[in-house]
A and B are shown apart, each in its own frame.
Chain A
Amino acid sequence: MQEAKIKFDHVTKIFETRSQTITAVKDYSMEIQAGEFISILGPSGCGKSTLIRMLDGIIDTTEGDILIDGVKVNHKGKKMPSSVLRKLGFIFQQPNMLPWYTVRQNVALPLRVFGLKGPEWDNRVEELLEMVGLKEYADAHPNEISGGMLQRAGVIRAMVHDPEILLMDEPFGALDEMTREQMNMELLEIWEKTGKTIIFITHNIEEAVLLSSRVYVMGTNPGRLVETVTLDLPRPRKLSMITQKDFIEYRQLLESYIGEIDLSKIK
């Protein structure tokens, strides 16, 4: 069998604060193959962000290992090497643009940080701006464009250095319903075109079913993996599928898992 693109091997994360010890993630394992689009679904506070932030080198693991292409990437207290970070693109819940740069400069920021120069990279910036319809706003500052456009800029900023893996932490959660649906379809198109491995975090069941091939359901207290559901739905996915029988059944199945979690919390 092929080596997993991303592997979580019994990962635990414990936060020690002054007043308490929080087990944000407990004994979490999963394997993702190259080119897969998977979702992590769970109520807020179940450790979804913690999981993805460990993978992106923003925080350390407490126990267990994370491997990308078979290489252990969590070295306690040390910065993740640039060669690993270049394989990753992170999309935040907020656009998280730097207001003093134009849209184009924001999108090109990873190139500057990674030291990627040359006309081929400049062209890539322009192509990406074109792809998401931001070409004519490229010289605007972030405070001059809409929330939807900002989030698009966030998506292409994460892609500009051509990473193999996209990590998305509830990327469209702050957008209105219509914009979100549109962004979801655009994301699917990007994925189909580029074949990137995508980890998509959400607390929206419908979104998880619509986008991914597999859903990891998480529960709270402590944050942990509850269930893995493989979605046997045809591709390419379309918005119209939402009303079809298989889709609704998957949705109800996932709802039942999330519901159980809530019940266990009351107990």
Chain B
Amino acid sequence: MNMKKKVTSIVAPVVTFLLIFAIWEFACWFYKIDAWFLPKPSEIFRSMIVDFGEYWPHLLVTLQCVLTGFLIAIPVGLLLATLITSFPLLNAAMSPYITFLVTTPLVSLIPLLMLMMGYGMNMRITTVVIQSFAVINMNACTGFNNVPTLRRELMQSMGASRLQTYRMMILPSAATDIITGLRLAAIFATTTCISVEYNAGNTGLGSQIIKYSQYLQTTKSFACIFYVTVIGLIMYGLITLLQKKIVSWEE
């Protein structure tokens, strides 16, 4: 029964995947759609492999930017959330603006940041950090604020220090919310990185998508888009791994 469920949960999505690409492939062939308008998926996959040497450096640049930005955003977001929720006054003063930070599309700062920092990696990573730490911060704040009172009283009844309380009780209590924040932040990080690359410089998958589109090399454009998806999957996989490791007590 369980085994059957497992097989189904793997087979079903694969079938969906194949079906979508089969229909796409068939439609391109049947309606004789031009490759510059909508290339066949088989052509795109071929290009992903054959022209890999062309994409590889850009894939690396994007991956580096997303990962570095994400990894910096985690401690920044968590530290800020810890500070805010540890001091009631700070909590009251900051709460409205945390939501504000998340809801403002900070990608709109890109032109300004370009002006201040140039087109390089630093500017890209900064943008990724700014856009993704806020959602980590917001979810961590939710987690920290929702720690059950009874658990607080347990730590209090033993006279636990701030640090002990944080390490043994608050952080693990908030783990599920924090992971949710990381999941969202990973998406934000990838999206932001690509947006920056659209606008700045000529390295990274984003810049290549723009370049190939302008030359009507749509197949290559799509190949790059698929590689962006791969980066998204890598991020997703990393976080799922982290989740399994950290909140293992919640099956």
Contacts and interface: CB of A to CB of B under 8 A. Distances in A.
Interface of A: 53, 56-58, 79-82, 85, 88, 90, 92, 94, 96, 98-100, 109-110, 112-114, 141, 143
B88 interface: no
A202 B179 CA distance: 40
A148 B164 CA distance: 28
Interface residues on B, range: 10 to 19
B7 interface: no
Contacts of A113: 155, 158-160, 164, 168
Nearest to A90: B157
18 contacts: A57-B159, A58-B156, A58-B157, A85-B157, A85-B159, A98-B168, A99-B249, A99-B250, A100-B175, A100-B249, A110-B158, A112-B168, A113-B158, A113-B160, A113-B164, A114-B158, A114-B159, A143-B251
Interface string B139-170: 00000000000110111111110001000110
A90 B154 CA distance: 8
B201 interface: no
Contacts, number: 52
A5 to B, nearest CB: 18
Contacts of A110: 158
A188 B96 CA distance: 53
A85 B158 CA distance: 6
Given A58-B153, A96-B150, A96-B154, A143 B159 contact: no
Contacts of B247: 100
Contacts of B169: 98
Q: Sort A-B residue pairs by CB-CB distance and give the 5 closest, nearest first.
A: A85-B159, A113-B158, A90-B157, A100-B172, A100-B249
Contacts of B249: 99-100, 141, 143
A195 B168 CA distance: 31
A73 B125 CA distance: 53
Nearest to B158: A113
B77 to A, nearest CB: 21
B153 A98 contact: no
Contact of A80 (B159, B168, B251): B159
> In the complex, which of the residues A58, A90, A100 has the most CB atoms of chain B within 10 Å of its own CB atom?
A100
Interface in B116-144: none
